[in-house]
């Protein structure tokens, strides 16, 4: 199944993301994707989505991830409510020899 999801690029502490169409089974860090359909920079809040290509892939059965779906709702490519995206919890780091 095809997915439209984010692919992280950029340096450490300077993230930027490509919006790509890829197989669901491909790891997001592998770099193998079918087509790049957009760009997102969380530091500058810049978002670019190729509306015609996104609509093409949705018609072909590609499913967007929750974050990409919310971006498409903001860009008015797709109509509907935003999906809730649960935030990942950070693991608490324990130092060796520290008491609990």
CATH of the domain at 25: 3.30.1320.10
- Asked if the structure places residue 84 within a domain, the reply is no
Is pLDDT above 60 for 20?
Answer: yes
Q: Does an H or E element contain 57, and which? A: helix 51-59
Please state whether the predicted TM-score (pTM) of the whole model is above 0.85.
Answer: no
The per-residue b/e assignment along 10-45, b for 16 or more CB within 10 angstroms, e otherwise, is eeeeeebbbbbbbeeebeeeeeebebebbbbeeeee
pLDDT score at 99: 64
Boundaries of domain holding 33: 2-74
- Asked if the structure places residue 95 within a domain, the reply is no
Residue predicted with more confidence, 96 or 21: 21
pLDDT score at 97: 67
Is pLDDT above 60 for 100?
Answer: no
Residue predicted with more confidence, 76 or 28: 76
Q: Give the angle 71-27-20 at the CA atoms, nearest 5°.
A: 35
pLDDT over 90, % of the chain: 67
> How many domains, in total, are found in the chain?
1
């Amino acid at each position: 199944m095809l997915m439209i999801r984010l692919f992280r690029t950029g340096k450490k502490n300077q993230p930027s993301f490509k919006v790509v169409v890829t197989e669901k089974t491909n790891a997001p860090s592998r770099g193998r994707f079918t087509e790049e359909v957009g760009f997102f920079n969380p530091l500058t809040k810049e978002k670019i989505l190729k509306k015609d290509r996104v609509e093409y892939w949705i018609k072909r059965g590609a499913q967007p991830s929750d974050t990409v779906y919310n971006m498409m709702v903001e860009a008015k490519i797709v109509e509907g409510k935003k999906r809730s995206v649960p935030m990942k919890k950070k693991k608490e780091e324990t130092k060796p020899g520290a008491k609990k």
